[in-house]
Amino acid sequence: MLTELWESDAFTERKERLVDTIETEYHWSKGDIIVVTRGGGRERYRVIYAAVEIGDDGLKREILMMKL
């Protein structure tokens, strides 16, 4: 399933920055820890919200994460 990983504002929980878009069947749960290691950097996030959208193109998932 197409999954968008969004970094959120720590106080308002609003989407701020698209971290990545991946194709995965992983079942995301609130509290999961995600570590992104790209370009020599390392960022850690905690999942705070997961939603699935059903549309004409199929399923799409949106993951909202707070930077740790």
Instruction: Using the predicted structure, report yes or no on whether residue 39 has a pLDDT greater than 90.
Output: no
Instruction: Using the predicted structure, report yes or no on whether residue 20 has a pLDDT greater than 90.
Output: yes
Q: Residue 42's pLDDT is what? A: 95
3-state secondary structure the chain: CEEEEEEECCCCCCEEEEEEEEECCCCCCCCCEEEEEECCEEEEEEEEEEEEEEECCEEEEEEEEEEC
Q: Residue 13's pLDDT is what? A: 83
CB atoms within 10 A of CB 5: 21
Instruction: Using the predicted structure, report yes or no on whether residue 10 has a pLDDT greater than 90.
Output: no
Average pLDDT along the chain: 93
